Structure 1
Amino acid sequence: MQGTGKIKKIKCFQSLIKEKLWLEEMALSGWFLTDVHMGCIYDFEHGEPRRMMYEIDRFNLPKHPSLKDIRHKEIFLDMAREMGWQVVAHDEALDYYFCKEYAPDEINELYNDEESRKLHAEKFKRLMEFKASQLSGVLLFVDVVGLLFGIEMYVIQESVLSYLWFLFFVAGYTIFCLFTIRWFQRTGDLYISELCQTREEWEEFHDKSKRRWVYRLVLTNRGLKRFLTRMAADGWMLQDMSVIKYTFQKQDATDYIYTMDTKYLTNKRKRAAGGKAFSDSKDWIGMNNDWQIESVKDAEAKGWQFVCALETRAVIYKSMKQKNAEPLNDPKYDNSLRFVSIIGWYGLVMLISGTVGGVIGYFWEFFSQL
């Protein structure tokens, strides 16, 4: 909605850095923030375009605040004013918006040292953890009440359909809440990663000419090697990876080759050399990384260089093709599927258990109707 010299804009952000950059762009266009509602409705007033810097902080107190916690807001605001920052507005979540006109010869970051950036990031991380915890409690309550109410309706009405409707509601609500909880967790991790960086570090990290993110599901070791080698030939060197997300950094095109190692393959080499395989009966979910220590030693001895690791599931190595590094593992394993390196042993057990349970349930229902 637009009026004379004032506008409202509705915009949602997950990243605080991107929110600040947007506010700075608005100021360069002559629109200056005057108020914020619900964290997504912004009031602007028109003026002479100029470069403004924005920061966002929060001052909500813990459940049992100390005297230091109570006085923190006052001390911080006084310090911010001395540095040239002023409070523009705050929203209903007590997120405070600060602004300052850009000055070339002054410090234009409110959090200009590592310690202050870390404390700033932890405030928003705790907020996301609190929201996830709250939603977990609500989810448990609704699930229990929903199931009990569904059973009661089944007993009263003797209607399987009514009971199924309640089950569908509980299942749908549970899935929605679990995704939301995961979103809160990922947002908290995002706050830690971006707010602990300086502005220059953040901008360099997100410079698309220097860094690239590729989403791809690669199912075999051979396919992964080919994919990473092809990217290296185009000048994109692997920096990090998750299950389907690969982070590349731009460098000069080089003739790198890649290989992947896992606990299974490391144990194969250990047994072939007459050694004892890595095994820990107490490590139910695959957290023990003793095999990775051995893997790195083996790889370095054969001319490979560590690139990154996917938790305790896999390790990626690289080597210049001209160096003729020795193969780390027998090439016959290149066509092996990457199930364990993708989902982990715990995930594999859960997948197998779910499949077996589904098959048993199907046959139980089938034979019970005979």
Structure 2
Amino acid sequence: MKVLIVLLGLAVCAYALPAFFDSTHDNGLERAPAVQCNVTACKLPNCLCSGVTIPGNITAAQTPQFVMLTFDDAVTIANINFYREALQKRKNPDNCSIAATFFVAHEYTDYSLVHELRATGHEIALHSISHESNIAYWRDASLDTLNKEFADQKTMMAHFANIAVTDIKGIRMPFLQMAGNNQFQMLKNNNFQYDLTWTTQKYISPGLWPYTTEFSSIQECLIPPCPTESIPNVWAIPMINWVDQEGAVCSMVDACVNVPNTTNALLDWMKGEFNKQYTGNRAPLGFFVHAAWFTADEMRFETYLKFLDYLATLKDVFIVSGSQVIDWIKAPKTVAQMIAAPSCPKPTTTTCSPRACQLIKEGTVERWLTSCVSQCPNSYPWLGNPLGEK
């Protein structure tokens, strides 16, 4: 019943806002519409049609089950210990360290902690500078707005966290609000590799594999606008919805309302959602969450650790970043091939000496910024002023 209510709600939105299902682009910028995918023309490593088929003609039994652990919003002293405890010292079956992906929002982030996460092998991705709460701001965002939110944030992140700009490859839109063609054109224009915002409840089992946006997608558009134009060399990693115990869908695990409140029962539910992919076509499973979910009930973090322990017992399950999933899709290997010839990411060699700065944001608001930069900026970094130089 709850699934029906969700679908009816989406239908009402579609009726009320038909323009948002149309192609969106900046005035004067024309791009070709995406057409049905041509499997002859669309070949790996640079193109893949949307679908549920395992890339590389590998059987499900030979395919690694990828699990993507992601965390959204600011990285702070309040949540870093969750990440340290959950992620440190864990290994994949090829003996490479596991990797999570952090979609970092700028405000309140401690960039020295971001540096730590990257230095220990995790992926740093972007979640915008402002994290503006007005949904229409993101829905209607122009290329210029998205450039200021994400392209400038890439510059900001590399500078203040002292990490390589080329290591920053992905984004997730705030509130999972899509921005249509402009969103994916911004990614292409600024050398991003992928987006991990687009949700699906139609392709849960079998799950939808990541694909490129050169051709039209079979993925439904739950939070419009979605891209309608041909935008090559950009990957969409679908957010495959989870389903709670009363049948309601949820893109983020912490948005699942009707879940067990005991460790064993919650763990069984997590295993059940995992098995939809693991016993199916092994599309990458996302465990997407905000760290605040752990602080609300300590049982949740305890269960999360037990779930990671369970995954570690499975010798064909790999906990990897979004960009690592795409790297595999570009050159698929069987589990046996991955274990026989592991390709572990090389450790980073940069350093960070944290510096805390008391700054003013937009004229009146006081903010603290802790970063790896020895000299404090002139003002709090913000939209149009990503390095705080003004």
TM-based fold match above 0.5: no
Higher relative strand content? 1
- Name which one, 1 or 2, has greater alpha-carbon Rg: 1
* TM-score calculated relative to the size of structure 2: 0.22
Q: Which has the higher contact order (CA 8 A, sep 6+)?
A: 2
More helix by share: 1
